[in-house]
Amino acid sequence: MHGIHLTIVLAPLAAAVIAGLFGNRIGRAGAHWITILAVGLSFVLSVVVLKHLYLDGGQAENYSLYTWAVSDGLRMEVGFLIDRLTVLMMVVVTFVSWMVHIYTIGYMHDDPGYQRFFSYISLFTFAMLMLVMSNNFLQLFFGWEAVGVVSYLLIGFWFKRETAIFANLKAFLVNRVGDFGFILGIAGVVMFTNSLDYATVFGSANSIAAQSVEVIPGSPWNAMTMICILLFIGAMGKSAQAPLHVWLPDSMEGPTPISALIHAATMVTAGIFMVARMSPLFELSETALAVVLTIGAFTAFFMGLLGIVQNDIKRVVAYSTLSQLGYMTVALGVSAYSAAIFHLMTHAFFKALLFLGAGSVIIAMHHEQDIRKMGGLRKYMPITYWTAVIGTLALIGFPGSAGFFSKDALIEAVKDSHWHETDLLVYWVAYLSVLLGVFVTALYSFRMFFLVFHGEERMDKETKSHLHETPLVVTAPLILLAIPSAVIGWFTIEPVLFGGFFGDAIRVSHEHDVLAHIGETFHGSAAFITHAMQGPAVYLAFAGAFTAWFLYLKRPDLPEKIASRLSGIYSLLDRKYYFDDLYIKGFAAGGREIGKFLWKKGDELIIDGLIVNGTARSIGRFAGVLRRVQTGYLYHYAFAMFFGVTLILAWLLWA
């Protein structure tokens, strides 16, 4: 299997190199064919590995490929850990990437950077596979930074747009904050274990938890708590958790296929995957789990609220992504790691579907993205419409859809979690956030759906005259993503959540194993539907959808009146809780002002003015004085000699 593993990860890299370096020679068709075939091969082989591990009962593999360096016993290696957690991520990443590659042929058809774009997305697939397949922290960090670099290139792909340049710079800087915490967490792991290997570190977890470290002198911290919180800060940046969430909505400046690939299905889920992979560490720190749970609950609810006031079709889906990432983080905080990965999987399908569906609408609307200028597209774009129906229902958790199984299982896990016994405040904050978030999700999802596909046609006559369904190369990926969005939950909920699918890849302590407790109450997907229908989440979703129908189809005059009545709340949401103002006008502007002060006072006044130029001026003045002494007259020199001899004699006599 080692050869298959290498092929899976290296095929997209080889295709990216060929498309990037030889794009002019192989042409546009050559660029998309070689990258599509390479990623398709990676997907097929990933399915083969999944079959080997799950259906054929194969054993997980953990091996080293290459030793880069050894320093004081610390081995820096490249290696693979292929277990069921890894292979599930491999299948999701390669399938969504494959669909995006195919879709890109239609979306980027007329773009002059066609070959460059295919090279970037194939390179991104390689970087993401390196991240999820790693068996050590060094390779994990390589993949972590590599997906960040390619994301930077893709967000700013249209580099002649000022907004795109601002967006990729913003993503870069915010992620550097998270990555600083992440690398400190890795440094903490090395400090206590002198190893970067997962197996060695996980085997030493109890000894780490028994030690303490003084971050602030006189205030000892549990070593495991410190390491886990630092690692989670990295996850906050990559998975866009508040307050490091501000980069993701602006990243919509990149082409729409990127929104589907990076900001819905793969890169932003890297943080979720990392925490699940580190479950042996997080299980030993209640404080770290409380931080994860609180941050996730805040993001799930409050970022969802922002989607209600957005008018850009891609930004609505972007804030939905923020909210759903918050749900996954909440699941991690209640030790339901399997539920987080399950929601990650289902979300990858239906959120990629919604992003690509939004892109299909944007193509038909001649790159108009304001949902207030759409409406009535149902009759012009039937395939996009019905796939959007499936994606939206999955997002809100309609009974039977993929999102229903994963989201309701997640909410049930929060409800029955150990936090009910240990910390009621944390428990109720988390539980109410995920419950109310269901209503909010349905409200903004159907608001967008109704404004785009139903109601009066608000586009101009020129746009209306050219409206039609997008080509097959665009709609085929929508159909292929809609199928798992509709049905995959039926087949996967039992093994993934309650059947021990992940085995030793995810470790949960007995007192935290909430999924085992839930699994005792029912067996099978039909029983889960019956169980979930007794809870409030489904009815909150229906209430949100009904509210959207009433406000935007039945009484479209009401939203503006409500916004004017609640102008303070509307302004707060419209300004995104002032996070951008704080960062841009506070930290960024403050940093520039500090830099300007240091430039003017430190550089120009002290260094240039006093030290460099001041020294030069002093020497010049001294030279001017000496120049006057050197007159060239003999009697002046004789007088100077006589005066000097007199001073020396006087000094000697005095001494």
pLDDT, tens digit, 9 for 90 and up, residues 246-257? 988 888 888 888
Measuring CA to CA, which residue among 407, 309, 392, 303 is closest to residue 351?
A: 392
pLDDT, tens digit, 9 for 90 and up, residues 191-219? 999 999 999 999 999 999 999 888 778 78
Check residue 638 and give its pLDDT. 84
Check residue 264 and give its pLDDT. 66
Report the interhelical angle of 402-415 vs 313-333 (nearest 10°). 40
**Long-range pairs, 208-216, Cβ under 8 A, ≥24:** 208/281, 208/284, 209/284, 209/285, 213/188
Choice between 540 and 622, residue whose per-residue pLDDT is larger: 540
Pair 478, 384: CB distance under 8 Å:
yes
Pair 282, 189: CB distance under 8 Å:
no
pLDDT at 522 exceeding the cut of 80: no
Distance CA 281, CA 341 (A): 17
Compute the mean pLDDT over every residue in the chain, rounded to the nearest whole number. Answer: 89
Q: What is the 3-state secondary structure (H, E, C) of 457-508?
A: CCCCHHHHHCCCCCCHHHHHHHHHHHHHHHHHHHHHHHHHHHCCCCHHHCCC
pLDDT, tens digit, 9 for 90 and up, residues 362-412? 988 888 889 998 988 998 999 999 999 999 999 999 998 999 999 998 999
Tokens of 9: 């990860």
Burial of 597 (0-12, 13-18, 19+ CB in 10 A): exposed
Report the interhelical angle of 223-238 vs 270-277 (nearest 10°). 160
Check residue 265 and give its pLDDT. 66
pLDDT at 484 exceeding the cut of 70: yes
Q: What is the 3-state secondary structure (H, E, C) of 507-542?
A: CCCHHHCHHHHHHCCCCCHHHHHHHHCCCCHHHHHH
Measure the CA dihedral 143/144/148/154, to 10°: 40
Check residue 235 and give its pLDDT. 93
pLDDT, tens digit, 9 for 90 and up, residues 542-592? 999 999 999 999 998 898 999 889 889 999 998 889 888 888 888 888 888
